[in-house]
Chain A
């Protein structure tokens, strides 16, 4: 069953703007991960945040996790045309490695 579920939206922004997308889940998790997928390609891991962490940064990426609300957000700052892709959150339960993916957010960055 799907646990991670992003706000199902397509986001279109101008280069240089920030892009924010959200993810909600339903059960307890060990960690939450964000992945990126370029059209017709495999997924690439972006960032992992553990259940005892509230915020994490990696380059232009900022991820927050609110376990009380069972939600996470991914912020991409100063977007670039190369950031155009679909972004997926995935939740990992305790005890196994079965990642559950959401439906993804499509982001288009206009040069």
Chain B
């Protein structure tokens, strides 16, 4: 089935550790995105990529890093520089074109600092 898959569903991080969240899509979408969701704050864009080996910072990129080595994959690393990483992380993808289209979302990864 076509779709976008995030793993793991739950992730626990110790203080000072880096962790990587996985996002894979088989929709043949060029664009991929990472959002952070906190209670009462909606979704905030962390990073996005429109083509392999290229990505741009979103509104809250500090403390995060990404890579786009394959069209299907867009992993997000939460580094130790991110001081408040506990949140729900959502990955999305969409096609590119002159007329914006809908985004398809994964089921999310809930990251907790312990």
Say yes or no: B100 contacts A88, CB within 8 Å: no
> In the complex the two chains form, is B42's CB within 8 Å of A97's CB?
no
Q: Pick from B6, B42, B92, B106: contact of A102, CB below 8 A.
A: B42
Q: Which of B11-19, B43-51, B77-85 participates in binding chain A? A: B43-51
Number of interface residues of B (CB under 8 A): 30
A33-B102, A97-B100 are known contacts. Are A1 and B59 too (CB-CB below 8 A)? yes
Instruction: State A106–B77 Cα separation when bound (angstroms).
Output: 30
Q: Are B96 and A97 in contact (CB under 8 A)?
A: yes
Binding site for A on B (CB under 8 A): 6, 31, 33, 35, 40-45, 48, 50, 58-59, 88, 90, 92, 94, 96, 99-108, 110
- Taking a contact as CB atoms under 8 Å apart, the answer to whether A30 and B99 are in contact is yes
Given A42-B90, A88-B43, A103-B40, does the pair A98, B48 have CB atoms closer than 8 Å? yes
Interface membership of A61, Cβ < 8 A: no
Besides the contacts A30-B100, A33-B103, what 10 more A-B pairs have beta carbons closer than 8 Å? A8-B40, A35-B105, A40-B88, A40-B108, A41-B107, A88-B42, A97-B31, A97-B50, A97-B100, A104-B42
Which chain B residue shows the least CB distance to A93? B100
